[in-house]
Amino acid sequence: MMNMTTVRSNFPVPNAPNPSVFRRHILAPFVVQPVRKFFHLLDSMRFVGGYELNGHFQEFEDQYLITMYDFFESNPGQRVRTGDLASSLKVSPASATEMVQRLASKGFIDYQPYKGALFTDEGLIRGTKMKRRHRLAEVLLETLSFEGDIHETACRLEHAINDDLEVTLSLLLGHPVNGPVTFGTEMPEPSPEILEKIQSSSSKIQFLHHLGEGQKGILHGMLMTDGDKAVLNGLGLELGMELQRSATGFTFADGSGFACSPELAAKLLIRC
């Protein structure tokens, strides 16, 4: 899972979870106006050779915990054999055993030879957090109509998400309770700390199509290709405009309406 293969896409897929590469190759073709709160945290993170300076083992540890969470979802409380972990992660049984022992030494896993591995309370908290970030990345890519391998790309992006970015993604994506529609998965609950930050946020960024009737906000950003710009110009939409959802569609601040397809509404970012 850590080695990405070439996938079909309209734009390149980064070979490492480098935030600047992600923004340049995946988001740059879509972002007309940067959403600073959404991406400044990625720029502030330091990477060397595609790995965080705190050690590349952190990524592999988290990937094991995410995989453990997959087994936990299917059979909570049941031990996972290292052979099954090795098969899921496409690594050797010896490598899986070594990493499980490493995680056990850190208090994330309760490991019993010949019986398997089980989450500790601390491990379940960490595994849930990382799985949530993975699925938030998947929902983001699905929202952007990403044509590559959503799951594999999310495996790289999840490691670049910290607490503040997780909060921003949760707000931006409208507090999703499910993962991508095509996968049919549930979104793990946020940690109490993340939930408190979400609930205490004084403003939020969301897509226009998430506005309820009577709700309004400021047009803050746009996620689209160059071909969509002509549509925006034709509608007279500009950044900083106040938009509102009515019973029949969307209106400007003066009450005049404009035709906005569901596809376009899913690409316009509104700050409420």
- Reply yes or no on whether the pLDDT at 144 is more than 60: yes
At 53 the pLDDT is: 33
For 144, list phi and psi in degrees, rounded to 5.
Answer: -80, 5
Domain boundary among 200, 225, 240: 200
Number of structural domains, the chain?
3
Residues 133 and 187 occupy one common structural domain: yes
Residue 106: which pLDDT band, with cuts at 50, 70 and 90? very high
pLDDT > 70: percent of the chain: 75
pTM above 0.85, yes or no: no
- Domain extent for 245: 205-271
At 202 the pLDDT is: 59
Residues 224 and 254 occupy one common structural domain: yes
Residues 106 and 142 occupy one common structural domain: no
pLDDT > 90: percent of the chain: 34
- Reply yes or no on whether the pLDDT at 100 is more than 70: yes
More confident site: 232 or 91: 91
Residues 213 and 250 occupy one common structural domain: yes
How many whole angstroms separate alpha carbon 147 and alpha carbon 162?
25
Per-residue pLDDT tens digits for 35-81: 343 343 333 333 323 333 344 568 889 999 999 999 999 999 899 99
How many whole angstroms separate alpha carbon 225 and alpha carbon 243?
21
Q: Domain for residue 172, yes or no? A: yes
Residues 40 and 170 occupy one common structural domain: yes
With beta carbons less than 8 A apart as the criterion, state whether 107 and 120 touch.
yes
Q: Domain for residue 167, yes or no? A: yes
Q: Domain for residue 220, yes or no? A: yes
Residues 169 and 184 occupy one common structural domain: yes
Cβ contacts of 126-131, under 8 Å, gap ≥ 24: 126/62, 126/65, 127/65, 127/66, 127/68, 127/69, 127/72, 128/69, 128/188, 128/189, 128/191, 129/188, 129/191, 129/194, 130/62, 130/65, 130/66, 130/69, 130/158, 131/66, 131/69, 131/70, 131/188
